[in-house]
Amino acid sequence: MPQTLHLAPAPVSPLAREERVRTRDGVHLATDVYLPVAASGVRDESPGDTILIRLPYDKSGAYTFIPLVAEYFAARGYRVVAQDVRGKFRSEGEALLFVHEVRDGEDTLDWIVAQPWSNGRVAMWGDSYYGYTQWAAAASGHPALRAIAPRVTGTALGEPVHRDPADRTRRVEMGITNMYPLTHFFGSDTYLWEPDWTRRDFAAQAEAFMAARGRRSVSYDQWVPHPVTLRRFPQGSPFAGRSVPVLHTIGWWDNCAPLSWADVAEIARHPHWDAHHHLRIESIDHENHALLEPAEDRVEDRSEAQVREALPAYLDPALEFFEVFVRGNGRPADIPRVAWNLAGTEGFRAEAAWPPAGVRVETRFATADGGLVAERPVEAGELSWVHDPEDLVPSSVPDAFSYLLHLPDEAPIGDRDDVLVFTSPEQPHDVDLAGPVAARVRVRSTGPVMDCFVRLLDLAPDGSALRIARGQLQLRDAAEGGALEIDLGQVGYRLRAGHRLRAHVSSSDYPEFLPQPGTGGDPWTEGDAVEANTQHLAVGGPEAFAIEIPVLAGELA
């Protein structure tokens, strides 16, 4: 059996008092209340504004340092409520992903406004799953919720890829999708483990893990082997009902950023939400590591001193937002609709919308000899490579959630025979990129299913390469071939003089994404039988591989 780190509940913070919130079906949710401290040193029990945090990672644990966050908020006069979600750590109930969060969030808001220390105004804050719980509580339409500040998350967080029989393409499944219910939602505690990624029997390893512990994960069983869609939001769309002001933070290197950008696009279709949707885009990954952070801070386990030092940058944007939309101090116009960092530079820029005004799209085409050029090659051709399930293209970091912790050089990945590489001319001057990036490809395979990964990199003069955009798409009936438009996400990046753009094209990125076995079988449940496939990519001619790049300032070589 794999080595497992078992995390049980940490002691309740001495700064908090633990309460039990009763939900409508009788489940009690463990809830810590932090009150501001008056000048006399006594807890302030008078009515005031509240910040609610609902999370599955232990409200008292070291991983999310919620007691330090609560202390910071409370020092600014907020009452802070931190709650273990249903089925997690000290809360009762069954640990079932996502589906209870709307009603449990609504019931918790009901409880807060009934407390003597509440003035009836509540905001919510948090990352990842505790960003998702904000979207869920907002979907309840509760009138006490005045603003939310979700970070690095999405309303479809953790949802398995669903296959539309009428569509030959779909997203590529991330390895974390089926693992998360076996780690963070395997009962009340957390069990951190990984399968043996050198093997393909992932489902069998999951079964062995559960059998060794004598119980199953209800969250895992709702998806594997036959995904079942349990409704997360009572009205279907999270944006169907009453809207609230949102400070929506996305990281350029967050592996969950596609979920965030999908919500941005959906909100734009709902005017009552779009009217007070504020976007903040930072040069961070999912775990809040920053591109330009000092080397001494680029550590996996931050000390309390490092956490405290980081809290102002982490929390002050939400506090400024809440000051306007919860406390009514200042004008909504004082908060920019879009605040974003141009990666590789300091500070933030303010815009009226995203992408910024003045962006132009330039297309770069792949050539048969490995170039990335402005002119489409006239002569049509193909390049090929072998996708071997026994020798997969490795993911560039051991933990996709901490990309900037490792800050990997991805250039060596391009030395592999199963990765196609295309490189642009050297940049004579700096150029700023801002907006959506897309790749257009025509591919085919000798196998029934083909995954196509496209990575856009910044190639430095020393030969190292930093990934700045990426996307992947799966094609079924791949022997017939097909044209794909692959969303590479959004970019906000300064490409320096002397640098080049480089594109990598491959058929795997393992273990971040589940690998195709080459037989058409399900990668999770039927991965033992494998077969190598030859893949083909069109270069030149009307269906040439091309990347559309948004240029804000400067000239792209």
Among left, alpha and beta (phi > 0; psi -120 to 50; other), residue 20 is beta
Task: Give Cα separations from 24 to 28, 107, 130, 302, 536 (angstroms).
Answer: 10, 7, 21, 39, 56
| Contact of 57 with 69, CB cutoff 8 Å | no
Q: How confident is the model at residue 242 (pLDDT cuts 50, 70, 90)?
A: very high
- Residue-range domains of the chain with CATH: 5-159+230-351 (3.40.50.1820), 360-553 (2.60.120.260)
Confidence of residue 387 (pLDDT cuts 50, 70, 90): very high
Using alpha carbons only, what angle is made at residue 184 by residues 183 and 190, rounded to the nearest 5 degrees?
80
280-338 confidence digits (pLDDT tens):
999 999 999 999 999 888 998 899 999 999 999 999 999 999 999 999 999 999 999 99
The DSSP symbol for 402 reads: G
Q: For 202-228, what is each residue's pLDDT tens digit? A: 999 999 999 999 999 999 998 886 666
CB-based burial label for 131 (10 Å; 0-12, 13-18, 19+): buried
pLDDT at 92: 98
Q: Which of 71-75, 110-114, 298-302, 475-479 has the lowest mean pLDDT?
A: 298-302
pLDDT at residue number 482: 95
Other Cβ atoms within 10 Å of 383 Cβ, number: 19
The one-letter code for the residue type at 221 is D
Cis peptide bond N-terminal to 336, omega within 30: no
pTM over 0.75: yes
Over 70: is that where the pLDDT of 69 sits?
A: yes
- Predicted confidence band at 2 (pLDDT cuts at 50, 70, 90)? confident
Sorted by sequence, the CB contacts under 8 Å of residue 364 that are 6+ apart come out as 372, 373, 374, 424, 501, 546, 547, 549, 556
What is the reported pLDDT for 360? 97
Q: What percent of the chain is modeled with pLDDT above 70?
A: 99
φ and ψ at residue 190, rounded to 5 degrees: -105, 140
- Whether the CB-CB separation of 99 and 232 falls below 8 Å is answered with yes
Residue 164 confidence (pLDDT): 79
Tell me the helix, strand and coil percentages in the chain, rounded to 5.
20, 30, 50
Whether 1 shows a pLDDT value over 70: the answer reads: no
Contact at 8 Å (CB) between 462 and 503?
Answer: no
Q: In the chain, what percentage of residues exceed pLDDT 90?
A: 91
Strands 79-84 and 48-55: parallel
- Rg of the chain's alpha carbons, rounded to an integer? 24
- Average pLDDT value for the chain: 95
pLDDT in tens, 440-480: 999 999 999 999 999 999 999 999 999 999 999 999 999 99
Distances from the Cα of 419 to the Cα of 179, 378, 392, 412, 459, angstroms: 27, 24, 10, 10, 16
**Are 243 and 233 spatial neighbours (Cβ–Cβ below 8 Å)?**
no
**What does the pLDDT read at residue 310?**
94
* 3-class secondary-structure state, position 175: coil
92/88 Cα distance (integer angstroms): 7
Which pLDDT score, from 0 to 100, does residue 226 have?
A: 67
Q: Spell out the residues 6+ positions from residue 196 whose beta carbon is closer than 8 angstroms to its own.
A: 2, 205
Q: Which residues contact 239 (CB under 8 A, 6 or more apart)?
A: 139, 266, 267, 270, 273
Q: Are 168 and 476 in contact (CB under 8 A)?
A: yes
Report the SS3 class of residue 67.
helix
Determine which of 37-41, 121-125, 260-264, 295-299 has the lowest per-residue pLDDT on average: 37-41
Side-chain-side CA neighbours of residue 232 (13 Å): 21
pLDDT reading at 39 higher than 80: no
Mean pLDDT lowest for which of 41-45, 46-50, 305-309, 407-411? 41-45
What pLDDT was estimated at residue 162? 81
How many CB atoms sit inside 10 A of residue 493's CB? Answer: 25
Please state the rounded mean pLDDT for residues 152-181.
92
pLDDT at 309: 94
